[in-house]
Chains A and B, each alone.
Chain A
Amino acid sequence: MSQIPSPVADAWTPAQIQAVIDAHRERPGAMLPTLHAIQDRFGFIPDEAVPMIAETLRHTRAEVHGIISFYHHFRTHPAGRSVIQICRAEACQSVGSRQLEAHAKASLGVDYHQTTPDHEFTLEPVYCLGNCACGPSIRVNDDVYGRMTPEQFDELTDELSATVVEVK
C-alpha cells in the first residue's frame, strides 16, 4: 500500500508547539489543556512535543508519555480526515450497535484505532455519547448521528468521501 501523507495533520514546527505550550503553562493543572491545545491545532501530539512539554511544565518525559497514553482521546499519530467513533455502550447495544460496529469495520476495512489507507477515516470506539434514547449513535468529528443503520452509515461515509473530492 502506498504511503500517502495524511492531509489532516497540519505541518508543525517546534516553535509553533512551544508557542502553544507557553500559552497554557501558567494555568493551574496545565497539562491537559496543553495536550488538548496541541492536538486541536495539529491533529495529534507529535513525539517531538513530549520533551518540550516535559521541560516547560517540569515533568519527566516518562510522566508526559504516561499521561498521553492514559487518556483514550489523545493520539500520537495523525488521524484520517474524519474520525468516526462508534458507541459501544449498553444503551446502543440494546438497539443493534454490535451489528453496526461489525458492519462499519467490514465496510471501511479497518479495525478500531486504525485509519483507512486513503486517510479518509479513522475508526474509534467510544463509550457513550449521551444520545442513549436514540441509538445506535456515532460521532463523526464533532457531529453526533442517532438511530444509525448500516445503510445510513454507508450513505454517510460515501457523502463524506464525496465532499472531500468536490473540495479538491
Chain B
Amino acid sequence: MAITVYVPRDTTALALGADRVATRLQRGARARDVEINIVRNGSRGLFYLEPLIEVDTPDGRVAFGPVTPGDVEALLDAGLLEGRQDHPLALGLTEDIPYLKRQQRLTFSRIGITDPLSLEDYTALRGFEGLKKTLALDSQAVVDEVKTSGLRGRGGAAFPTGIKWQTVHDQAPGQKYVVCNADEGDSGTFADRLVMECDPYMLIEGMTIAGLAVGADQGYIYLRSEYPLAHAILDEAIERAVNAGYLGDNIQGSGRAFHLEVRLGAGAYICGEETSLLESLEGKRGLVRAKPPLPAIEGLFGRPTVVNNVLSLAAVPFIMDQGGQTYADYGLGRSRGTLAIQLAGNVKRGGLVELAFGTSLIELMEGFGGGTLSGRPLKAVQVGGPLGAYLPESQWDNPVDYEGFAAFGGVVGHGGVVMFDDTVDMGDQARFAMEFCSVESCGKCTPCRIGAVRGVEVIDRIRAGESFDKNLALLTDLCDTMVDGSLCAMGGMTPFPVQSVMQHFPDDLTPRQAVTAGGTTC
C-alpha cells in the first residue's frame, strides 16, 4: 500500500522550497521502489519548521522539519517513509509538538491537516456542520448565536460582529451584500492568508451563514493582489462548492441562495479600510467615505452590507456548530473567544499561535517565539500592524486583549506581532511610519495626505539636528493634528508608532543617532 506523505503548499512553505522537496521525495521513493502518495496539505502555521513534511504511521502523523531539498536523500536513507525518528530533523508526532499542542485551535483546527481543496477532508472534520444547523434556524436565531459568542471584528476595529449583522438583518428586504475584507495588508500578519490557502471552505461556509443570517444572496471576497496563491485556491474552492451544492441558488436543497465571487484589489493598503474597500469594489478610486451612513445601512452600491474580516467570518462555522456559548467560554473580559496571534519579524520560532485572549505578550514572544532569530536582545515589538505602537520592555507583561491594550495605547489590531532586536534604529522606524502613510494615503483628508509628507520631513530635520527642540515640538503637534483630524484610521493611527518612539525610545531620535538618517526613497 502506498505510504502517504504530506508536503504543505501554502505561500511560506513554497517560498522555502516545498515544491522542490516534493519532487525530490517522489524521485527518491521511485528510486527505492516504494510507492508513495504525496498530499499537498495546507501549513500547520509552524513556519519556523517549514517545509514541514509529515508521514502517515499507525501511531499518527510524524513530522520532519525544516526540510530543505538537500535533506531529502538523507531523510529517506534514515527511514523517513517508515516513520523512523532517527534523523536530526525528526520531530515526533505532529500533534505533540509543544508549539502546536499548547494552542487552542478553534478556527484553525483543520489547517495543515487537510488538503485545502478536498471537500471530503473538510466535511470529515465537521465542515459545513455550522451551515446545516444554520439552514434549520430562522435568521434572527443565527444572529443571536453570533451575539452570544461575543465575537468582535478581527480586522482591528473589534466591533461586535453580531450587532453589525443585526443592523443589516433589520434593514428592509431587498438586495443586501456580504463583503469579506481579505485585504490583509498589515505587516506581520498572515492569518487571513492561512485561512484562504489552507481551509478555504471555512471562509465560504462563514460567508454563506452570514448571507443567510442577514438576508444577502451575494457575497464578495475582496482579496489583495499580493496573494496570487490564495486567489487561485479560493476560485477553485468556490467552483467546487457550487458544484457540490454548498453555494448557488439552492443551498443543500433548502431553496435558499448565496453566490460568492472573489474580487482582486490592486495594491492599495487603504482598501483594507472598509469604506475605501467598498469604493474599490464599486470600481472607483479607493477613497475613504465619511461615516455615517454606516455600510450596514448604505454599503456596497448603496445597499445594506456586512463587511467582515476573514477571521471574523472564519470563526462563524465553529460558533454555529458548537454554539456561541462554547466560543464565549474562551477569553478575557470583553474579548471573547480566541485570537490568531502571528509571530513575525526577528523571531526564532515564527508562526501562527491561536489562543484564548489573555496570554501575555512576553509569553508569546519567548514561550512560543523563543526570542529573536538573531539571538540578540529584543528591543521593541510592534503589535497590530504598521499603525500600531512600538512597545518597550515595560509593556511586554500585558495580557493581549482589546481593552487591556487600549488602556496603555497599544493596538491588538489583526494580531500581528513584529519583533525587533537591539540593532533596530527606532528613528528609522518612526520615519518609515510616516513614509508608509505618505505612499498609501488615499488623499481625501488633509491631515493624512499632507501630514504624512511633512512628518517625514520633520523627522529628517530632527535627526539631522536642525532646530532639534523646535522640530520635536512641531512633530508632537503634527501627530496630534493627524490623530484628531483624520477621516479614518490610516491618518488617525499613523502617529501611534511615531509617538511611541518619541516616548519610549527618545535616544534614537537624537542627532547623534542620525549618522545614517534618511532611510530610502521609494
Q: Which residues of A contact B (CB under 8 A)?
A: 28-33, 35-36, 57, 66-67, 70-74, 88-95, 98, 101-102, 111-112, 125-135, 137, 139, 142-147
Contacts and interface: CB of A to CB of B under 8 A. Distances in A.
B187 A142 contact: no
Given A70-B285, A133-B351, A128 B187 contact: yes
A48 B421 CA distance: 50
Contacts of B12: 131, 133-134, 144, 146
A111 B522 CA distance: 8
A24 B192 CA distance: 28
A29 to B, nearest CB: 4
Nearest to A148: B15
A137 B284 CA distance: 30
A146 B16 contact: yes
A142 to B, nearest CB: 4
A140 B268 CA distance: 19
28 contacts: A29-B281, A31-B283, A33-B264, A72-B268, A73-B225, A74-B266, A88-B522, A90-B432, A91-B418, A93-B424, A94-B420, A94-B421, A94-B424, A102-B520, A125-B522, A128-B189, A129-B226, A130-B184, A131-B11, A131-B12, A131-B15, A132-B350, A134-B12, A134-B350, A139-B226, A142-B228, A144-B15, A146-B16
B505 interface: no
B47 A72 contact: no
Contact of A94 (B14, B50, B286, B345): B345
B345 A91 contact: yes
Contacts of A137: 15
Given A70-B285, A71-B266, 17 more contacts: A29-B283, A32-B263, A32-B265, A33-B264, A66-B285, A71-B286, A90-B382, A91-B188, A93-B432, A94-B345, A94-B346, A95-B346, A98-B519, A101-B520, A133-B347, A143-B15, A144-B15
Interface string B76-93: 000000000000000000
Nearest to B351: A133
Of A125, A132, A142, A145, the most chain B CB neighbours within 10 A belong to: A132
B171 interface: no
Given A30-B283, A71-B268, A128-B187, A90 B15 contact: no
B338 interface: no
B266 A132 contact: no
Interface residues of B, number: 66
B263 to A, nearest CB: 7
Contacts of B228: 142
A168 B415 CA distance: 48
Interface string B13-52: 0111000000000000000000000000000000110100
B268 A134 contact: no
Contact of A31 (B284, B373, B429): B284
Given A32-B264, A112-B522, A144 B343 contact: no
Contacts of B373: 95
Interface string B310-347: 00000000000000000000000000000000111111
